[in-house]
C-alpha cells in the first residue's frame, strides 16, 4: 500500500512506495503488450485531467493509462474553461470535485499550486508538472526505464544536461536518482543553473565532453524556451558546442550506456538530427520512445495504487 | 490460526497430480492441443508439475503460462492487494484446449476472473479447470473438471496449501481462524 494519498513531490514517496511502484509497473507493462490492451480493473472510477498548461505526452499518457484500466477519463483544459470567465482555481477544482471524481491529475505553470489545491480538497491529486518545481511521474517512469536497462541502480553515473534552472524534470529526477544510490552530475552553463544548488547535491560541469566517456545515463533536458523570460544562452551554436549530443559524442559513450530525454526534443539543439534518427536502429541505447511507452505502464501502476490505497482508508 | 489436520503429504499430492495427468490425457484423447495456465501463486507450480507429467507420458513438449487475476477481480477495492504479480502467457491460446490450474476452489470468484482474463486474451477451443482441493461454498455456478480432493469445510476454516517450489515442502492442511 502506498504511504501517501497525493503524489506532488518526489520526496513524498518512501523507498517502499518506490519499490512497490517499480514492481507493479512490470505487471502493467505486460497488459500493454497484449492484443487487447485493456483490463476491467478500475471500472466505474472517474479521473480528471486538469491541465492549466499545454501538454501532449503527459496528458495523453495519463489518459491512455486510465483507459487501459477501464476508468473514465475526462479532459479539462484551462483555455476552454470558465477560468477564462474569471473563476478562481479553487472554485474550478471544487466544481470538478462536486461531480464526484476519484482522482485529479493536475498540471499548472505555477510552482506550488498543487500543494495549495491538495490542502483544499479530499480527492487525491497527482502532480503532472507544476512550473519549475516538480514532475514526479516523469522521474518514476525514467527510473523504471533505467531499471529495465541496468541490473542495479547502485553507483550508476548519470548526467543531467542542459537547462537545469527551468527544469522540473531535473529537480524530481536528481532527487530520485540520488536516493536510489546513483551518482548525479549536472552539465550546464552558469546562466542555466538554479539558485538552490544544495537541493541537487550534485557535481557541476560546464561541457558535456567532461562527462561523456564515463556516464551510464546521459539525460538530456529540454531547452525550456517558454519559461525563459530572458535569453539564457548566447546562441544555438554555442549551445551545440558545449551541451548538445551529436554523433561524435554519442560515439564516445561507453558500451551499454543509454541516452534519455523527457521530450519533446528540440531537434538540433539538445540532440542532433542524426542521433535522434538512430533510435530505431539502437533501441537499447537511445530510450526516448521507450520512456514514453514506460510512462503509460508506470502511470497505470500509480493510478491503481492510489485508488486502492484510498479505498482502504474509507 | 490453529492447525486442525494434515490432509495431504508430499506423496499424496504426487499421486493426485499423476492421476489428474492421466485423466486429462484420457479426457482430451491425447495431449497435442493442450496448453497449461497456472493461477498465481500456487497454481503455477501445480500447472508445471502436471505439464511435466504429461510431457513425459506422451513424449511431447507442453507450454505453461502464468496468470495473475488482480486486474479482473470483482472485489478488488474490498480485498486490497497492492502487489500485482506478473502474467506471462507467451503463447497463443486461440483454438487451444486450455487447462487452468489453481490450488483451492472456494467461492469460484477467482475462476470467474480467470475466465474473463483468458477470454480477453483469445478464443480457446475449451477451458478446463484443475484444482488440488475443492472446499465447497461456491457463490457462482462454477465447477472443476478435475479435482484432487474434496474437503468439506466450515467458513471459519481455511485450507493451507504448501508447495515445494514456493514453501519448501509439499502439504495440505486444514486450519481454523482464531
Chain segment A47-77, per-residue pLDDT in tens:
999 998 888 889 999 999 999 999 999 998 7
Q: Which of A132, A196, A207, A144 is nearest to A170 (CA)?
A: A132
Give B-chain residues touching A36 at CB under 8 angstroms. 120-121
Domain membership flag for residue A1: no
Task: Please tell me the predicted confidence (pLDDT) of residue A313.
Answer: 44
Residue B35 buriedness (CB in 10 A; 0-12 / 13-18 / 19+): buried
What is the CATH number for A56?
A: 3.40.50.1370
Contact B83 A20 (CB under 8 A): yes
Residue environment code for B77-99, b if the CB has 16+ CB neighbours within 10 A, otherwise e:
beebebebbebebeeebeebbbb
pLDDT digits (tens, 9 = 90+) for B112-123: 999 999 999 999
Q: Name the residue among B80, B85, B120 with its Cβ closest to that of A312.
A: B80
pLDDT at A154: 96
B147-152: average pLDDT: 96
For residue A33, list chain B residues with Cβ-Cβ distance below 8 A. none
Asked if residue A150 and residue A41 are part of one domain, the reply reads no
- For the segment B17-46, the average pLDDT, to the nearest whole number, is 97
The ipTM assigned to this model is 0.84
Q: Is residue B168 part of a domain?
A: no
Among B138, A66, A69, which Cα is nearest to A58's?
A: A66
B77 touches chain A (CB under 8 A): yes
Residues A58 and A168 in one domain: no
Rounded to 10 deg, the angle between the A288-313 and A57-68 helix axes is 50
Contact (Cβ atoms closer than 8 angstroms) between residue A192 and residue A166: yes
Same domain membership, residue A257 and residue A158: yes
- A50 lies in the same domain as A104: yes
- Inside any domain, residue B117: yes
Specify if A4 maps to a domain: no
Hey, are the CB atoms on A24 and B120 less than 8 Å from each other? no
User: How many structural domains compose chain A?
Assistant: 2
The DSSP 8-state label assigned to residue A254 in this structure reads P
Contacts of A40 (CB under 8 A, 6+ apart): A70, B71, B72, B116
The answer to whether B78 contacts chain A (CB < 8 Å) is yes
| B166/B170 Cα distance (integer angstroms) | 9
Q: A311–B77: do the CB atoms touch at under 8 Å?
A: yes
Query: Is the previous residue joined to B73 through a cis bond, with omega within 30 degrees of 0?
Result: no
Same domain, A308 and A249: no
CA distance A46 to chain B (A): 14
Q: Are residues A283 and A140 in the same domain?
A: yes
Count the domains in chain B: 1
Q: How far is CA A249 from CA A115, A133, B87, in A?
A: 41, 30, 40
Whether A268 and A302 map to the same domain: the answer is: no
Contact pairs from chain A to chain B, CB under 8 Å: 57
Q: Cα B82–B90–B13 angle (5° rounding)?
A: 70
Whether A305 and B87 lie within 8 Å, measured CB to CB? no
Q: Are residues A43 and A158 in the same domain?
A: no
The residues of A carrying an active-site annotation are 57-58, 85, 107, 135
Q: Which CATH number fits the domain that encloses residue B112?
A: 3.40.50.2020
- Indicate if A86 and A184 belong to the same structural domain: no
Give the residue ranges of chain A where pLDDT is below 50. Answer: 312-314
Q: Is residue A3 part of a domain?
A: no
Give the mean pLDDT of B61-90.
Answer: 86
Which residue has cell 493509462?
A65
Q: Are residues A251 and A299 in the same domain?
A: no
Instruction: For residues A230 and A164, state if they share a domain.
Output: yes
Give the domain extent around B95.
12-157
Question: Containing domain of residue A249, as a range?
Answer: 136-287
Residue labelled with grid coordinates 514514453: A292
Please give the model's pTM, rounded to 2 decimal places.
0.91
Tell me, yes or no, whether A252 and A146 share the same domain: yes
In this complex, the residue of A1, A30, A34 whose CB is nearest that of residue B86 is A30
pLDDT value for A314: 40
Domain membership of residue B171 (yes or no) is no
Locus of grid cell 503527459? A58
- Pick A30 or B74 by higher pLDDT: A30
Q: Which of residues 112-131 of B touch A (CB under 8 A)?
A: 116-117, 120-122
Best residue in A40, A42, A70, A303 for a mutation probing chain B (most B CBs within 10 Å): A40
Contacting residues of A for B86, CB less than 8 Å apart: 26-27, 30
Amino acid at each position: 500500500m502506498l504511504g501517501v494519498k497525493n503524489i506532488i513531490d518526489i520526496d513524498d514517496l518512501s523507498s517502499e512506495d518506490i519499490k512497490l511502484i517499480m514492481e507493479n509497473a512490470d505487471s502493467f507493462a505486460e497488459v500493454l503488450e497484449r492484443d487487447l490492451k485493456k483490463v476491467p480493473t478500475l471500472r466505474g472510477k472517474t479521473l480528471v485531467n486538469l491541465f492549466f498548461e499545454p501538454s501532449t505526452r503527459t496528458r495523453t499518457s495519463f489518459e491512455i493509462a486510465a483507459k487501459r484500466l477501464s476508468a473514465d477519463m475526462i479532459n479539462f483544459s484551462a483555455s476552454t474553461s470558465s477560468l477564462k470567465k474569471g473563476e478562481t482555481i479553487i472554485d474550478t477544482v471544487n466544481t470538478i470535485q462536486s461531480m464526484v471524481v476519484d482522482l485529479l491529475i493536475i498540471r499548472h505553470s505555477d510552482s506550488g499550486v498543487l500543494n495549495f489545491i491538495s490542502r483544499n480538497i479530499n480527492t487525491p491529486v497527482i502532480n503532472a508538472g507544476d512550473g519549475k518545481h516538480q514532475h514526479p511521474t516523469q522521474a518514476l517512469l525514467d527510473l523504471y526505464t533505467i531499471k529495465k536497462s541496468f541490473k542495479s541502480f547502485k553507483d550508476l553515473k548519470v548526467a543531467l544536461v542542459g537547462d537545469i534552472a527551468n527544469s522540473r524534470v531535473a529537480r524530481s529526477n536528481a532527487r530520485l536518482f540520488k536516493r536510489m544510490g546513483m551518482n548525479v552530475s549536472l552539465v550546464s552553463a552558469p546562466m542555466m543553473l538554479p539558485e538552490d544548488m544544495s537541493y541537487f547535491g550534485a557535481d557541476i560541469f560546464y561541457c558535456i565532453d567532461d562527462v561523456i566517456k564515463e556516464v551510464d545515463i546521459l539525460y538530456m533536458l529540454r531547452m525550456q524556451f517558454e519559461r525563459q523570460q530572458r535569453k539564457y544562452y548566447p546562441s544555438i551554436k554555442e549551445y551545440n558546442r558545449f551541451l548538445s549530443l551529436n554523433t561524435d559524442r554519442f560515439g564516445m559513450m561507453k558500451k551499454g550506456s543509454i541516452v534519455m530525454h523527457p521530450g519533446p526534443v528540440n531537434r538540433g539543439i539538445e540532440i542532433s538530427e542524426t542521433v535522434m534518427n538512430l533510435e530505431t536502429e539502437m533501441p537499447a541505447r537511445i530510450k526516448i520512445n521507450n520512456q514514453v511507452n514506460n510512462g503509460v505502464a508506470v502511470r497505470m501502476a500509480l493510478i491503481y495504487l492510489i485508488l486502492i490505497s484510498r479505498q482502504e482508508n474509507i | 490460526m490453529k492447525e486442525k489436520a494434515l490432509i495431504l503429504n508430499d506423496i499424496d499430492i504426487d499421486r493426485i497430480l499423476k492421476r489428474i495427468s492421466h485423466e486429462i490425457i484420457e479426457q482430451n484423447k491425447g495431449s497435442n492441443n493442450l496448453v497449461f495456465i497456472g493461477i498465481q501463486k500456487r497454481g503455477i507450480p501445480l500447472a508445471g508439475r502436471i505439464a511435466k507429467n504429461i510431457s513425459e507420458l506422451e513424449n511431447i513438449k507442453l507450454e505453461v503460462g502464468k496468470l495473475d487475476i488482480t486486474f479482473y477481480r470483482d472485489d478488488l477495492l474490498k480485498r486490497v492487494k497492492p502487489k500485482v504479480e506478473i502474467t506471462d502467457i507467451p503463447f497463443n491460446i486461440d483454438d487451444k484446449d486450455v487447462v487452468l490450474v489453481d490450488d483451492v476452489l472456494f467461492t469460484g470468484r477467482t475462476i470467474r476472473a480467470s475466465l474473463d482474463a483468458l477470454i480477453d486474451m483469445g478464443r480457446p477451443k475449451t477451458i478446463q479447470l484443475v484444482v488440488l482441493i475443492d472446499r465447497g461454498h461456491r457463490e457462482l455456478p462454477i465447477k472443476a473438471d478435475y479435482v484432487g480432493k474434496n474437503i468439506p469445510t466450515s467458513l471459519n476454516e481455511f485450507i493451507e496449501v504448501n508447495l515445494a517450489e514456493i514453501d519448501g515442502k509439499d502439504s495440505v492442511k486444514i486450519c481454523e481462524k482464531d
